[in-house]
Each structure stands twice: as structure tokens, then as C-alpha cells.
Amino acid sequence: MSGPMGVSLRERVATNAATGSLQSAPKRGCPLCSSRCAAEDGPTVNRRRTDGRAMPGRYYEEFDVGETVAHDKRRTVSESDNQRFCDLTMNQQPLHLDAEFAAETRFGERLVNGLYTMSLAVGLSIPETTDGTIVANLSYDDVEHPEPVFHGDTLRAESTVSDKRETSDGERGVVTMHVEAYRVENGADTLVCEFDRTVLAEKRPDE
């Protein structure tokens, strides 16, 4: 999709993020009620937008470099999760989908799509980091998958704030977090995915 003068939407977003001129999206409440559904999300940190809606995400000022956040939510990955993700992304890799093919590999069974594992790690990290306070995700870097994930594995995530800086106009902030996803096991959990996530975050609104 192109905008004025033939400049694509992607190019405009990248330019605006670099200059700090990217505008926040319109603020919307929950489609089912006037506020966040605390029963689903658990305890909500007492922060509010200028429109009065509570949300658990952090503003730029609330990120501390070096802090590690162990995220509460976990998910057990099902065969259906893996199948639907591959279908939606048109990924026909038999190592993810074909049980007989996968049985003949060194893994002995189907592997969960690594991009699903990464996406799940991002999703698990949202409530305690950028839920309601993000302007945009800017990049995902240095992605690694040190161990495979299988159907039935339960995953958890941690985020460590590695860097932060204000935008050139001082109105927002750029925050980088190192995200790690672990397979939950008896004893020591196993690292299955890690990457750096950089976001453009809102600053705390004036009271």
C-alpha cells in the first residue's frame, strides 16, 4: 500500500520511528466492556491512560536497564497450535506437519514451528512490559533456537531490559529487551528460544 508521493506505509513507519514522529494509535477500550477484563488478565497494576482505562504495561520511565521480568503466564503447546500456525503462514515444512516424515529424522517426531515459539514468547511477555503503552515494535534481532520444541511442551518467558533511550524529540522512548523462552521441566528449565525485541514506548502522560 502506498501513500502520498508513492511512499509505502512501511517506509513511512520506519522514517517516523527513526525521527520520533510516529503517532500513537487511537486508544480503544475492551470490545466487551468499558475497561480491561481483570478476571482474564489477573491483577492489574494501577496505571491509567488519559482516557481513564487501566492497563498493566510500562511507560518508558518505568523500564530499568538490567531488570529481569519473569512473566507469569505459561502455555502448553498443542498439536493444533502448531498446525494452525503453519496453515496461517502457509508453511508446508514436513518436519512440522508430517508425523511419518519427522519420525525418520534425528528428532523422531514433529517439531513446533520456531516462529510460533518466538511469537508465543513475545505474547507471554506483553502483560508486564508493553500492554497498552507501546507505539510500535521496531525490530527483532539476534534470534536463536538452541533447542527444539515439541507438542505438549509447556513454555514460559523472561525479559531483561538491556537498553533504553529517548527519541530525538524527547516525547517517547526506545527500549530493547532480551527475551528468553524456556521449556518448563522438573529441575532446570531448558532455553528453547532467545532474541532482542526493540519497541517504541509511550512516556508517562502528564497528570
Q: What is the CATH number of the domain that holds 25?
A: 3.10.129.10
Question: Domain for residue 172, yes or no?
Answer: yes
Question: Domain for residue 189, yes or no?
Answer: yes
> Mean pLDDT across the stretch 102-130?
97
Question: Domain for residue 63, yes or no?
Answer: yes
Residues 10 and 94 reside in one and the same domain: no
Q: Are 56 and 132 in contact (CB under 8 A)?
A: yes
Can you say whether the dihedral through the CA atoms of 8, 114, 135, 141 is positive or negative?
negative
Q: Which domain holds residue 21?
A: 4-77+112-202
CA–CA separation, 188 and 103 (whole Å)? 27
> Mean pLDDT across the stretch 84-105?
97
Which residues are bridge partners to 180 per DSSP?
A: 158, 194
Question: Domain for residue 129, yes or no?
Answer: yes
Question: Domain for residue 207, yes or no?
Answer: no
Residues 48 and 140 reside in one and the same domain: yes
Q: Across the chain, which distance is largest between two alpha carbons, in Å?
A: 62
Residues 85 and 178 reside in one and the same domain: no
Question: Domain for residue 191, yes or no?
Answer: yes
Provide the pLDDT for residue 99: 97
- pTM for this one? 0.74
CA–CA separation, 183 and 155 (whole Å)? 5
H-helix or E-strand spanning residue 139? strand 134-144
For residue 70 the three cell numbers come to 519473569
Listed range (8-17, 27-36, 147-156) with the worst mean pLDDT: 27-36
CA–CA separation, 27 and 60 (whole Å)? 18
Residue with cell 502528564: 206
56 vs 14, higher pLDDT: 56
As for how many domains the chain has, the answer is 2
Residues 157 and 143 reside in one and the same domain: yes
Residues 160 and 182 reside in one and the same domain: yes
Compute the mean pLDDT over every residue in the chain, rounded to the nearest whole number: 82
Provide the pLDDT for residue 123: 97
Residues 141 and 53 reside in one and the same domain: yes
Residue with cell 496461517: 88
